[in-house]
């Protein structure tokens, strides 16, 4: 350690350090233009000149490259130093009069104009560029020439391939003399292109060291070895100089890790189709033809334009945007993708609506499509709203070519309108709704694993084992299983987990380690002894906020016994240190001023539990995300804000009390309501994973609607498979089937439900830890199209019945008509029943098999054979099934004339009415949910206006309810085909097992609590709580009869009841009134 004086203050530095380094560490500012932390100092710009007194005399030295020595005295801002710097700035300003950084320096030193003769240069010859180039391991440029001719250049002033166009010189150049453009033109012969950000679809660049995107897990930077200079030259490694914890190791090698596993789940996903091969759309040529993925980034608040809708050619706001559907989907000619990608219709509508929201309603959005496929839950409603409320135009037409409009960046298209006219229209921007495809890498992986693929290169599965690949033990989920959207992928993934869990159930808990439990110190009644730990977060916080002064300030606050600052509070060693300090100083409340509690609170809570403190005796002050990161140009205010936030946290933590988390036993059994395919699948999966399961079915037998179905879209025999499943369930000793039974009473909550089943007048009480609702749906009974009046008019299920009975009359039919959307997509039932298009087309094909000469017509509104079901649609057209589209306002008419049954419909191509004589009409009757209000009430779960249950989260929680311990599957969620019902049945079981496997759960400590003495029994809390946590204590109870009580197990701690309690009888532990008042007071103190 060397001790010396800096501006009269005694400071210390390490042997070999320079004055500037030590000064910077002590927060003493010395101006410099040519210094870089990772480079050897050169003393080129002379700005860092300081006055050095060596005991006898004073002299001037450049602080960046003058090593410190014992006893020296340095003045950084004396009058002579100031005057000297002023002259240097003035001279530099004369050399480079137009450089902003010098102008700024001039302003700082009070120089408005230079007295010297002005030159035109922009280079100050600081040599940063040449030094960094050497550091990069290249030495492509150097200072050439001598005296006044000196300049930065390549040898002999020729372009060189030594320069790798890494851009390091431009990045360090203080004056802007070196630009990337100059490097490209004068220096390098290498191709010059920015590194495209994969996340931003190449619309933005990224660095070789980068975090893929803000929410990446783990949120740790990675080094892209393919572009990092170090891996090309062995030089650079500048990043290691800046990393405060020496986390970067360039010598790390890829490792091959061998794992012993019992099962493999494949979820490799898809890649968006690349439309550049379609010349007619000119995606590669026209900047304003973009893919939908690019549009997603442009609309995203975190995207390259911060959510500001602009087109790429001129960054102007577009006034007219068109979306082209089915680019790379439903297209055999140009890209060999015959399947439908399932998601594009919905995302295009979503993008159009968001674009309108961002840009105002005068933005014109047009979607060009073939069939609008909004078959997901609530999607049809969204489609209708986009059309009727937002004015998105939907044009049924496939556009062939995009032409640029000469002299502009606009685009012109020609299309045939629905009425058959040729229309030319111009757009500012065209979005290609690209489909999904499986990447060659994934296809290669499938080959290596020896699993079979479908014609579309998706993973081959069967309807009854929809997440099992062709190889036992290997499961699949997500878009690799078939094109699908987020909810369906989430359902899939839970199902795959259940499938793996079923075969590995005997191994469950064999590799878990028990955690050592540290006994909790009782702090109740103790005076608060608060410890405050202020985190530097490397330079993330300390670079802006004066961390030591915040820690010093914290030490002065009431009850604070200890305050210090750490480099990284979350690092392993600091955590251990924290535990030691808590023990040593006997602290009983902890404040960590660092990043956000949303990511780090659990970590610190665990640490203080290791020190024997209750985890609720803790508070965080968010001085990074809410302070240093957002006020980097205002360090003074940021430091003040940090102090305010710390004070607020200290005042709050002083009032915290240890909170108890109730431990709750989870009864290892389940109740499944509904004995259809979904319910039975859930039950079988639960049983295979070792949990006793009860199935309640109100009808006399198991099977549900599947009993009425003939065959799957893949041609499998449903009855045979269904009977197999029923046998499995019946023979399973772990599954108890209650037929002809209904729920008559329900009590309890997650972990300990108590349900009374009533069967044949007899009550049985079942105790269970979780419940799965699989109550299914039933077919709509049509009143239209002469159904019930003419025996030749059937529903699809009735036709299936005839197929199953091998009705010989079917093969004698001359003509058959299918009418789609009977009761679906109508004002009364504004949803798509999802399965009917595929079902009708498959039945049409089945009829064709019986009699290839039969005339078959399908009257439809949009054909929705999503995913690889599209192949059936194609096959049907090839086999001569005729598809005639009708619209809601011109529905077909069925006419009975004596013995002849005929149908009248307006042909959409010819525009003329047609009359078809037919022997059979099959109605695609809607799927209607069993609107079971009683059940919804029992389990306190919501239903939407259509009567389907409302899941916890439409995208991320599709198989569970907001009510803990209650799960959902099958058609009670939404109409779905068998494979999707099975997947969701498994998914619901999987979600349930995540709870059952824990055996016990801890409720949160931050829950609401009633003070009975203040309660006026008004019932506001009971009615307002979204989680049904409050209830009245029974009138006959011994204590507090009639008052409200809150079940801590159900309470989510939102505080709604607290705010609405008119008697002030409810408090929210951890966010109590006095705590929030203390925070308010703290924030307003010392203003």
Partner 1 sequence: MNLMEHMGIEPGRLQFSWISSAESTKFVETVKSVTQAVKAIGPNTTYKKNPVKVA
Partner 2 sequence: MSEWEPKIVSFLCNWCSYGAADLAGVGRMEYPPNIRIIRIPCTGRMSPKFFLAALREGADGVWVSG
- Write out the residues near partner 1 by the rule CB under 8 A: 301-302, 306-307, 630, 1085-1087
Judged by beta carbon distances under 5 to 8 A according to partner kind, the member of partner 2, partner 1, none in contact with residue 424 is none
Judged by beta carbon distances under 5 to 8 A according to partner kind, the member of partner 1, partner 2, none in contact with residue 631 is partner 2
Judged by beta carbon distances under 5 to 8 A according to partner kind, the member of partner 1, partner 2, none in contact with residue 632 is partner 2
Residue 624 sits in the site that holds partner 2 (CB under 8 A): yes
Nearest residue (CB) to partner 2, 150 versus 1081: 1081
Burial category of 157 from C-beta neighbours within 10 Å (exposed 0-12, middle 13-18, buried 19 and up): exposed
- Looking at the DSSP bridge assignments, the partners of residue 222 are 210
Minimum separation from the CB atom of position 1087 to partner 1 (A): 7
What helix, strand, coil percent values describe the chain, rounded to 5? 30, 25, 45
d(CA 838, CA 261): 38
Residue 303 sits in the site that holds partner 2 (CB under 8 A): no
Nearest residue (CB) to partner 1, 261 versus 1087: 1087
Residue 801 sits in the site that holds partner 2 (CB under 8 A): no
Distance (Å) of CA 841 to CA 464, 707, 858, 883, 914? 20, 20, 8, 10, 21
Residue 1054 sits in the site that holds partner 2 (CB under 8 A): yes
Q: Return the closest-CA partner of residue 829 out of 979, 977, 975, 958.
A: 975
Footprint of partner 2 on 659-688 (CB under 8 A): none
The CB density around residue 430, as the number of other CB atoms within 10 Å, is 26
Residue 546 sits in the site that holds partner 2 (CB under 8 A): no
Q: How many of the chain's residues bind partner 2 (CB under 8 A)?
A: 44
Residue 597 sits in the site that holds partner 2 (CB under 8 A): yes
- Residue indicated by tokens 């309640």: 696
The CB density around residue 87, as the number of other CB atoms within 10 Å, is 14
Q: What is the CA radius of gyration of the chain?
A: 36
Contact 697, 726 (CB under 8 A): no
Residue 641 sits in the site that holds partner 2 (CB under 8 A): yes
Structure tokens at 721: 């498979």
d(CA 670, CA 680): 12
Minimum separation from the CB atom of position 498 to partner 2 (A): 28
Judged by beta carbon distances under 5 to 8 A according to partner kind, the member of partner 2, partner 1, none in contact with residue 1073 is partner 2
Minimum separation from the CB atom of position 1062 to partner 2 (A): 11
Q: Which of 108, 632, 879, 955 binds partner 2 (CB under 8 A)?
A: 632
Residue 955 sits in the site that holds partner 2 (CB under 8 A): no
Longest Cα–Cα distance in the chain: 127
Q: Return the closest-CA partner of residue 39 out of 169, 155, 221.
A: 169
Residue 1084 sits in the site that holds partner 2 (CB under 8 A): yes
Residue 629 sits in the site that holds partner 2 (CB under 8 A): yes
Question: What's 972's DSSP letter?
Answer: G
Nearest residue (CB) to partner 2, 152 versus 645: 645
Residue 210 sits in the site that holds partner 2 (CB under 8 A): no
Residue 952 sits in the site that holds partner 2 (CB under 8 A): no
Nearest residue (CB) to partner 2, 437 versus 619: 619
Q: Return the closest-CA partner of residue 829 out of 792, 762, 783, 788.
A: 783
Judged by beta carbon distances under 5 to 8 A according to partner kind, the member of partner 2, partner 1, none in contact with residue 361 is none
Minimum separation from the CB atom of position 301 to partner 2 (A): 9
CA angle 230, 236, 241 (to 5 degrees): 120
Minimum separation from the CB atom of position 595 to partner 2 (A): 8
Q: Return the closest-CA partner of residue 988 out of 535, 664, 661, 676.
A: 676
Return the axis-axis angle of helices 572-585 and 597-610, rounded to nearest 10°. Answer: 50
Minimum separation from the CB atom of position 306 to partner 1 (A): 5
| Dihedral pair phi/psi, residue 768, rounded to 5° | -150, 155
Cα dihedral 674, 676, 682, 687, rounded to 10, equals: 90
Per-position DSSP letters for 541-555, written without gaps between them: TTTTS-HHHHHHHHH
Judged by beta carbon distances under 5 to 8 A according to partner kind, the member of partner 1, partner 2, none in contact with residue 1086 is partner 1
Q: Which of 433, 488, 648, 796 binds partner 2 (CB under 8 A)?
A: 648
Contact 1076, 649 (CB under 8 A): no
Minimum separation from the CB atom of position 985 to partner 1 (A): 32
Q: Which of 150, 247, 637, 895 binds partner 2 (CB under 8 A)?
A: 637
Cis peptide before 291 (omega within 30 of 0): no
Judged by phi (left if over 0) then psi (alpha if -120 to 50, else beta), residue 226 lies in alpha
Residue 1073 sits in the site that holds partner 2 (CB under 8 A): yes
Minimum separation from the CB atom of position 532 to partner 1 (A): 21
Judged by beta carbon distances under 5 to 8 A according to partner kind, the member of partner 1, partner 2, none in contact with residue 382 is none
Contact 94, 114 (CB under 8 A): yes
Q: Give the x/- contact pattern for partner 2 in 168-207, rule: CB under 8 A.
A: ----------------------------------------
Contact footprint for partner 2 (CB under 8 A): 214, 302, 596-599, 622, 624-627, 629-634, 637-638, 640-641, 644-645, 648, 1006, 1053-1056, 1058-1060, 1068, 1071, 1073, 1076-1077, 1079-1081, 1083-1085, 1087
């Amino acid at each position: 350690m060397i001790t010396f004086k800096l501006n009269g203050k005694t400071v210390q530095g390490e042997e070999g350090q320079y004055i500037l380094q030590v000064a910077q560490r002590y927060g003493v500012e010395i101006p410099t233009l040519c210094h870089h932390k990772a480079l050897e100092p050169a003393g080129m710009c002379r700005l860092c000149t300081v006055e050095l007194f060596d005991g006898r005399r004073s002299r001037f030295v450049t602080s960046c490259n003058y090593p410190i020595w014992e006893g020296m005295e340095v003045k950084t801002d004396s009058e002579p130093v100031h005057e000297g710097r002023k002259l240097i700035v003035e001279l530099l300003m004369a050399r480079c009069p137009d450089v902003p950084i010098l102008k700024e320096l001039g302003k700082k030193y009070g120089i408005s104009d230079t007295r010297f003769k002005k030159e035109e240069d922009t280079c100050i010859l600081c040599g940063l560029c040449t030094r960094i180039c050497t550091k990069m391991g290249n030495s492509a440029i150097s200072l050439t020439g001598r005296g006044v001719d000196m300049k930065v250049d390549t040898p002999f002033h020729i372009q060189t391939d030594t320069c790798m166009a890494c851009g390091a010189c431009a990045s360090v150049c203080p004056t802007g003399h070196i630009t990337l453009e100059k490097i490209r033109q004068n220096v390098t012969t290498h191709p010059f292109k920015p590194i495209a950000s994969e996340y931003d679809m190449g619309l933005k660049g990224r660095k070789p060291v980068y975090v893929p995107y803000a929410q990446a897990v783990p949120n740790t930077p990675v080094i892209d070895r393919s572009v990092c200079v170090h891996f090309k030259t062995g030089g650079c490694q500048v990043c290691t100089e800046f990393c405060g914890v020496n986390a970067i190791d360039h010598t790390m090698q890829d490792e091959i890790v061998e794992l012993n596993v019992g099962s493999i789940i494949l979820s490799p996903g898809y890649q968006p189709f690349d439309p550049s091969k379609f010349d007619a759309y000119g995606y590669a040529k026209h900047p304003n033809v973009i893919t939908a993925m690019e549009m997603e980034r442009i609309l995203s608040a975190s995207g390259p334009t911060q959510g500001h809708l602009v087109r790429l050619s001129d960054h102007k706001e577009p006034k007219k945007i068109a979306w082209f559907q089915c680019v790379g989907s439903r297209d055999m000619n140009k890209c060999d993708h015959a399947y439908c990608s399932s998601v594009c219709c919905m995302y295009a509508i979503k993008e159009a609506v968001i674009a309108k929201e961002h840009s105002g309603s005068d933005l014109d959005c047009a979607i060009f499509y073939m069939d609008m496929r909004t078959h997901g839950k609530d999607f049809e409603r969204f489609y209708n709203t986009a059309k009727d409320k937002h004015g998105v135009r939907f044009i049924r037409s496939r556009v062939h070519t995009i032409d640029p409009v000469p002299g502009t960046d606009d685009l012109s298209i020609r299309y045939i309108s629905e009425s058959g006219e040729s229309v030319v229209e111009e757009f500012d921007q065209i979005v290609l709704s690209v489909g999904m495809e499986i990447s060659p890498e994934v296809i290669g992986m499938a080959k290596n694993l020896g699993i079979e693929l479908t014609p579309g290169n998706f993973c081959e599965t069967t309807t009854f084992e929809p997440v099992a690949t062709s190889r036992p033990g290997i499961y699949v989920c997500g878009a690799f299983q078939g094109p699908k959207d987020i909810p369906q992928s989430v359902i899939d993934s839970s199902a795959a987990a259940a499938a793996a869990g079923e075969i590995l159930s005997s191994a469950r808990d064999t590799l878990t380690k028990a955690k050592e439990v540290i006994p909790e110190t009782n702090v109740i009644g103790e005076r608060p002894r608060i410890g405050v730990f202020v985190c530097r977060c490397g330079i993330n916080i300390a670079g802006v906020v004066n961390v030591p002064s915040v820690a010093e300030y914290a030490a002065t606050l009431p009850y604070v016994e200890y305050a210090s600052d750490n480099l990284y509070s979350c690092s392993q060693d600091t955590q251990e240190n924290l535990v030691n300090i808590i023990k040593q100083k006997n602290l009983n409340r902890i404040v960590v001023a660092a990043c956000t509690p949303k990511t780090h609170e659990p970590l610190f809570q665990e640490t203080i539990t290791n020190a024997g403190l209750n985890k609720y005796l803790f508070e965080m002050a968010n001085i990074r995300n809410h302070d240093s990161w957002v006020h980097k140009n205002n360090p003074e205010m940021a430091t003040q804000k940090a102090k305010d936030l710390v004070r607020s946290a200290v005042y709050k933590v002083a009032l915290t009390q240890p909170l108890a988390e109730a431990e709750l036993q989870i009864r290892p059994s389940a109740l499944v309501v509904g004995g259809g395919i979904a319910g039975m699948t859930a039950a079988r999966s639960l049983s295979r994973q070792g949990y006793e399961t009860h199935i309640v079915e109100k009808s006399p037998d198991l099977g549900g609607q599947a009993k009425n179905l003939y065959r799957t879209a893949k041609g499998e025999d449903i009855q045979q498979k269904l009977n197999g499943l029923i046998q499995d369930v019946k023979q399973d000793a772990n599954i108890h089937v209650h037929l002809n039974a209904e729920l008559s009473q329900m009590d309890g909550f997650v972990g300990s439900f108590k349900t009374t089943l009533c069967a044949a007048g007899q009550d049985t009480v079942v105790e269970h830890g979780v419940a799965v609702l699989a109550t299914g749906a039933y077919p709509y009974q049509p009143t239209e199209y002469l159904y019930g009046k003419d025996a030749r008019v059937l529903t699809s299920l009735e036709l299936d019945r005839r197929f199953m009975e091998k009705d010989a009359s079917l093969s004698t039919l001359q003509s058959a008509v299918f009418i789609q959307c009977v009761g679906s997509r109508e004002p009364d039932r504004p949803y798509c029943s999802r399965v009917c298009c595929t079902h009708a087309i498959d039945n049409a094909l089945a009829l064709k098999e019986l009699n290839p000469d039969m005339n078959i017509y399908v009257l439809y509104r949009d054909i929705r054979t999503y995913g690889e079901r599209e192949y059936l649609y194609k096959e049907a057209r090839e086999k001569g099934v005729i598809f005639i589209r009708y619209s809601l306002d011109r529905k077909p008419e069925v006419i009975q004339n004596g013995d002849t049954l005929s149908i009248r419909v307006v042909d959409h191509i010819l525009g003329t009415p047609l009359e078809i004589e037919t022997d059979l009409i099959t109605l695609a009757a809607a799927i209607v949910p069993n609107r079971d209000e009683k059940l919804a009430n029992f389990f306190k779960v919501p239903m939407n206006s259509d009567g389907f249950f409302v899941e916890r989260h439409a995208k991320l929680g599709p198989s569970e309810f907001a009510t803990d311990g209650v799960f959902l599957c099958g058609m009670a969620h939404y109409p779905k085909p068998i494979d999707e019902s099975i997947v969701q049945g498994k998914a619901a079981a999987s979600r349930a097992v995540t709870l059952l496997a824990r055996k016990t759960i801890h409720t949160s400590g931050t829950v609401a609590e009633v003070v009975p003495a203040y309660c006026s029994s008004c019932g506001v809390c009971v009615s307002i709580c979204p989680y049904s946590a409050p209830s009245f204590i029974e009138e006959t109870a011994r204590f507090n009869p009639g008052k409200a009580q809150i079940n801590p197990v159900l309470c989510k701690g939102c505080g709604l009841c607290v705010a609405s309690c008119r008697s002030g009888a409810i408090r929210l532990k951890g966010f109590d009134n006095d705590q929030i008042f203390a925070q308010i007071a703290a924030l307003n103190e010392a203003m």
